[in-house]
Chain A
């Protein structure tokens, strides 16, 4: 299918959605500034921008969550008021959120009709819905077992249920917010197949993402947002990733990290037959062996939920495990008293956790309180019975300055920083301690391109100082570009190790899906 043609053919019809001069402010913060956009029916329109650029606000206005301060919304040429989500649904808009809004212990069918039951008797609703669902599934290749319980479904299938929910409510316009964030590469491919199919059937799709590759792959047109403004709207076929990235950030950016070849030295960390059984009795890590050398970045690739998180937690000291881990020849406690974050830090293991909001930072603490978090027991920061807050603030100010945290105000609450700056606070805290081993989980999740670049540089700089880095990321691009060696985890096991120069996305992607060379 020729994207440009599809878009061109529809040019004469009224746009499926047209926004004119939308503005929205939260107090002094202008989240959306005079935004106008036209999305033609039967096209896929991408909206790209850094975190906090105003994409979500714009979509929330479209879906009736916020009321715009100024501006108009036209649906298929008709001026439309959208005071709430019911009105949005009535206007034919469907939304698939990043975090699914499904009832975990309901079946697919029950979830689909939830809130759209026709009449008080559930049986009739369910019977009608089953028929509709079957029809939709055939039409759009959206096969899901209607009687499966949501919690038993894979993330990709749950997302399909969200799409089905929207279609069941007769959505003509589908908005997807960062839909591939939780998917494996192959699941993402399937999603894109579905989206193309929906486009063929005449649906209009708005895709919000920060992944340039996806924009290039699937969209017909793309709008770039920066600081609440729409900086450009272009035909996808007439642009390239480099240009989009620059439009997003407002300056030239490096998309690939530049680094010298690694010079690995001695093994500093040796993991032997590591096993983790979680509280529910499920074996999360099934006897893995790994070595980590000084002066290298070991990347762990894998789809979320295959044991990488547990591996980081074990090394970080807050997940009991069995097996043996030695650091510089000395065994590390895996259970018991010495197995906690403070003991690990004392041994020179620093940890940038996967989830900065729930682990790496206390969102309601100020920046300076966060910069000492985990190291607050350090005698440097104590004076007698009390904490030496002056010393902590001074230390924090220096670290924030060196890591270019903006705004450079240590008195601000962590929650008031953007995602990228939050992550910089965490990375500054961990790297500035000059640890022997740095554990890094998802260093750039939800981080804008500018900050990604900076954080990657800092990680490589630490490597070049002869330190060992264990990187866990679900972004395959990131693992491939940052690592000196790659191990792929699937179902609690290491599927294999590869050198980045000798492998490619396809091979690692297969390993991530649990398919080994021999089998395929």
Chain B
């Protein structure tokens, strides 16, 4: 069967999905007596209209790039890693341990150290469900979800009982030492003569996220391992025939995925919070699923989708600040976008495909 052109697949479908989500959101806003056009304008100017807005948009986008890439890598091996949330929490623990207990001379060394810490713990957290799937056939969706809860409980225990400074009420670690504080985009861009908002939390880990996207692209499409991961994902029986070890691929793909999810904590814990708090991931591990779906598991798509979701988060914050749209409805609007771009992909795809078939025939 003749399919749609590629541009329609990667651009038109997400665009139409977004439009539908926007229309429904507008209906919601009208329903509570606010002005949707003004709301949209506020979201755009708040999220993209200033370096300050961009700083927040990119800050959120950094999280989503990491978790979106994590979901993508696993998805190429047809492993549905729902555990990005838990892996990111463990990554945060890795960051905190490295930043708190090793004296670092400079942030650049600390960043490398923390990256290793975050990646290692994130990967380790993904390893257990991976090995359970590969050796015992325990479904990875179930185990990774359960591991989110375990991660939360573990972090909670550590933060409440072990790592919390005496007398502090917050289930959080002490602030990291000054030498581990990451430069924000403001500091990074100043020498280049670019004025970037000082207040925005976007920081050097954005660069790491983009590097990670390049790394994932190379890994998946340019290395033997990536070839095997994709082969395994497309057809397990063919992979077996070709002598690709399913246990090895499952474990490696999940560990890379977990490491990427863990590295998200560089942004939240090391970059923004400068201490580990209980809820530093805030669902970014789950948003990563929507990002990967929308980005078609391709690094470029993931980066673009991440910026879109970053925009939604920052735009949503602006709505909360300046309008009386309740927080819960802002979440509804964000959820609509996720629903349309992720879960309801086929709802838009099928009619569009039919449309293309019709036009294709008329031309033919």
A and B touch in the complex (CB under 8 A): yes
Binding site for B on A (CB under 8 A): 25-29, 69, 316-318, 340-345, 351, 353, 355, 358-365, 369, 373-374, 376-377, 382, 385-387, 389
- CB nearest to A343 among chain B residues: B243
Q: Establish whether residues A382 and B235, one from each chain, have CB atoms under 8 Å apart when the complex forms.
A: no
Give Cα A360–Cα B240 distance, bound, in whole angstroms: 10
A362-B234, A364-B234 known; A28+B227 contact, CB < 8 A: no
Q: Pick out which of these stretches binds chain A: B96-104, B193-201, B217-225, B324-332.
A: B217-225
| Residues A387 and B224 in contact, CB atoms below 8 Å apart | yes
Given known contacts A27-B360, A341-B240, A362 and B235 CB-to-CB distance under 8 angstroms: yes
Q: Which residues in B have some Cβ–Cβ distance to A below 8 Å?
A: 1-2, 218, 222-224, 227-228, 230-231, 234-235, 237-238, 240-245, 357, 360-361, 364
Q: Quick one: which of B218, B224, B234, B241 contacts A316, CB cutoff 8 A? A: B241
Which residues of the other chain, B, contact A358 by a CB distance below 8 angstroms? 235, 237-238
- Can you give 16 A-B contacts (C-beta < 8 A)? A27-B357, A28-B361, A341-B241, A341-B243, A342-B242, A342-B243, A358-B237, A359-B241, A360-B241, A362-B235, A363-B234, A369-B227, A376-B228, A376-B242, A385-B223, A387-B223
B224 touches A362 (CB 8 A): no
Interface contact A25-B364, CB-CB below 8 Å: yes
Contacts of B241 in A (CB 8 A): 316, 318, 341, 351, 353, 359-360, 374
Q: Give the residues in chain B near A316, CB-CB below 8 Å.
A: 241
With A374-B241, A376-B242 known, 16 other A-B pairs at CB within 8 A are A26-B2, A29-B1, A316-B241, A341-B243, A342-B243, A351-B241, A359-B237, A359-B240, A362-B234, A362-B235, A363-B234, A365-B230, A373-B242, A374-B242, A374-B243, A387-B224
Contacts of B237 in A (CB 8 A): 355, 358-359
Contacts of A318 in B (CB 8 A): 240-241, 243
The complex places the Cα of A360 from the Cα of B361 at a distance, in Å, of 34
Q: Which residues of B contact A377 (CB under 8 A)?
A: 224
Chain B residues within 8 Å of A369, by CB: 227
Distance A363 CA – B235 CA, assembled complex (angstroms): 8
B residues within 8 A CB of A351? 241
B238: A residues at CB distance < 8 A: 358-362, 373
The distance from the CB of A197 to the nearest CB of chain B, in whole angstroms, is 38
Residues of B within 8 A of A317 (CB): 243
CA A71 to CA B58, docked complex, whole Å: 58
A120 to B242 CA separation, bound complex (whole angstroms): 51
Give the distance to chain B from A384, nearest Cβ to Cβ, in Å. 10
Contact, CB under 8 Å: A365 / B231: yes
Contact: B223 with A341, CB < 8 Å?
Answer: no
Cα A376 to Cα B361 in complex, Å, equals 40
The 6 closest A-B pairs by CB, nearest first: A27-B2, A341-B243, A342-B243, A374-B242, A359-B241, A340-B243
Q: Using known A-B contacts A25-B364, A28-B364, A363-B235, determine if residue A345 contacts B222 with beta carbons closer than 8 Å.
A: no
Whether A376 contacts B2 in the complex (CB less than 8 A), given A353-B241, A358-B238, A360-B238, comes out as no
Q: B364's closest neighbor in chain A, by CB? A: A28
Q: In whole angstroms, how far apart are the Cα atoms of A360 and B227 in the complex?
A: 15
Q: Is the CB of B231 within 8 A of A373?
A: yes
Question: Across the interface, which residues of A come within 8 angstroms of B240, CB to CB?
Answer: 318, 341, 359
A28 surroundings in chain B (CB, below 8 A): 2, 360-361, 364
Contacts of B360 in A (CB 8 A): 27-28
Q: Is A376's CB under 8 angstroms from B218's CB?
A: no
Q: In the complex, what residue of chain A is closest to B227 when comparing beta carbons? A: A376
Question: How far, in angstroms, from A373 to B239 measured CA to CA in the complex?
Answer: 9
Residue of B nearest to A28 (CB): B364
Task: Please tell me which one of the listed residues A26, A345, A363, A365 contacts residue B357 in the complex, with CB atoms under 8 A apart.
Answer: A26
Interface secondary structure of B, over-half rule: helix
Give bound CA distance, A318 to B245, whole Å: 10
| B1: contacting residue among A27, A365, A387, A389, CB under 8 A | A27
CB-nearest residue of chain A to B218: A386
Q: Are B231 and A362 in contact (CB under 8 A)?
A: yes
Residue in A25, A26, A29, A345 whose beta carbon sits within 8 Å of that of B243 in the complex: A345
Minimum Cβ distance to chain A for residue B147 (Å): 27
Interface centre among B218, B228, B241 (most CB of A within 10 A): B241
Question: Which residue on B lies nearest to A358, using beta carbons?
Answer: B237
Alpha-carbon gap, A389 to B241, bound state (A)? 22
Question: Shortest CB–CB separation between residue A39 and chain B, in angstroms?
Answer: 28
Using CB atoms, name the residue of chain B closest to A375: B242
| Known contacts A363-B235, A376-B228: A340-B245 contact under CB 8 Å | yes
Please state if A365 and B234 are interface contacts (CB–CB under 8 Å).
yes
Contact B222 A341 (CB under 8 A): no
- In Å, the complex CA distance between A344 and B240 comes to 12
A296 to chain B, nearest CB (A): 25
> Which residues of chain B come closer than 8 Å to A385, judged between CB atoms?
223
> What separation, in Å, do the CA atoms of A26 and B360 have in the docked complex?
9
Contacts of B224 in A (CB 8 A): 376-377, 382, 387
> Of B222, B235, B364, which contacts A389 at CB under 8 A?
B222
Please, which residue of chain A has its CB at the minimum distance from the CB of B356? A27
Q: Which residue of A lies closest to B360 (CB)?
A: A27
B319 to chain A, nearest CB (A): 41
Residues in A with CB closer than 8 Å to B245 are: 340
A residues near B242, Cβ cutoff 8 Å: 341-342, 373-374, 376
Q: Which residues of B contact A386 (CB under 8 A)?
A: 218, 222-223
Whole-angstrom distance between the Cβ of A366 and the nearest chain B Cβ: 11
Most chain A Cβ neighbours within 10 Å, of B1, B218, B228, B243: B243
Closest CB of chain A to B201's CB: distance in Å? 34
Complex interface: chain A residues within 8 A of B222 (CB): 386-387, 389
Taking the closest CB of chain B, its distance from the CB of A227, in whole angstroms, is 16
CA distance A27 to B3 in the complex (A): 8
Decide if A27 touches B231 in the complex (CB within 8 Å).
no
Residues on B with C-beta less than 8 A from A26 are 1-2, 357
B45 CB to nearest chain A CB (Å): 43
Contacts of A341 in B (CB 8 A): 240-244
Minimum Cβ distance to chain B for residue A392 (Å) = 10
A179 to chain B, nearest CB (A): 26
- Name the residue on B nearest A312 (C-beta): B241
Distance in angstroms from A27 CB to nearest chain B CB is 2
Which residues from chain A contact B1 at a C-beta distance below 8 Å?
26-27, 29
Of all chain B residues, the one with the shortest Cβ separation from A355 is B237
Contact (Cβ within 8 A) B361 A25: yes
CB distance from A341 to the nearest CB of B (A): 3
- Cα A176 to Cα B362 in complex, Å, equals 34
Most chain B CB atoms below 10 A, which of A29, A343, A363, A386:
A386
Q: Give Cα A358–Cα B240 distance, bound, in whole angstroms.
A: 10
B227 adjacent to A387 (CB under 8 Å): yes
**What's the least CB distance linking B11 to chain A, in Å?**
20
Min CB gap B221→A, angstroms: 9
When distances are taken between beta carbons in the complex, the residues of chain B under 8 Å from A376 are 224, 227-228, 242
CA distance A382 to B222 in the complex (A): 10
CA distance A385 to B218 in the complex (A): 10
- List, in ascending order, chain A residues with CB within 8 A of B364's CB: 25, 27-28
Which B residue sits closest to A30, measured CB to CB? B364
Residues on A with C-beta less than 8 A from B243 are 317-318, 340-345, 374
B361 closest partner in A (C-beta): A25
Q: Do the beta carbons of A29 and B234 come within 8 Å of each other? A: no
A297–B70 Cα distance when bound, in Å, is: 49
A28 to B5, CA, bound (A): 13
| Neighbouring A residues of B228 by C-beta, 8 Å | 376
Nearest residue, chain A, Cβ from B236: A358
Find chain A residues with CB under 8 A from B357 CB: 26-27
Q: How far is the CA of A69 from the CA of B240 in the complex (A)?
A: 43
A424 CB to closest chain B CB (Å) equals 17
Expressed in whole angstroms, the Cα–Cα distance for A69 and B357 within the complex equals: 12
